[in-house]
Amino acid sequence: RKYGFDELYQALFARGSVLLGRFFWRVGDQAIIDGVVVDGSAGMISRIAYSVRKLQSGFLYHYAFMMILGLIVIVGAFALLQ
């Protein structure tokens, strides 16, 4: 005689553990890890790359101008901090 302990254990603990595991899988893995960490970081890199791509023209004089402009900014910041 089992007196229904197997059914009670199945209903209370085993089924509840499975439901809790599914909840953590949906919320923790799919929403947070996949949604925010994986897809969010990939989306952020994609947006940054799209913005930086506009700065690249392939012409040497554009790159030389940006280097000179950067040097002026660095020297100006250094002069202001002294």
Return d(Cα 36, Cα 27) in angstroms, integer.
11
Q: Identify the domain containing residue 51 by its residue range.
A: 5-81
Number of domains, the chain: 1
Give the Å distances, CA to CA, from 49 to 29, 45, 74: 27, 6, 24
Say whether pTM exceeds 0.85.
no
The per-residue pLDDT string of the chain (82 residues; one tens digit each, 9 = 90 and over) reads 678 888 888 888 888 899 999 998 888 888 888 888 888 889 999 999 998 888 888 899 989 999 999 999 999 999 999 8
Alpha carbons 69 and 64: distance in angstroms, whole number? 9
Q: Per-residue b/e over 6-19, b at no fewer than 16 CB within 10 Å?
A: eeeeeeeeeeeeee
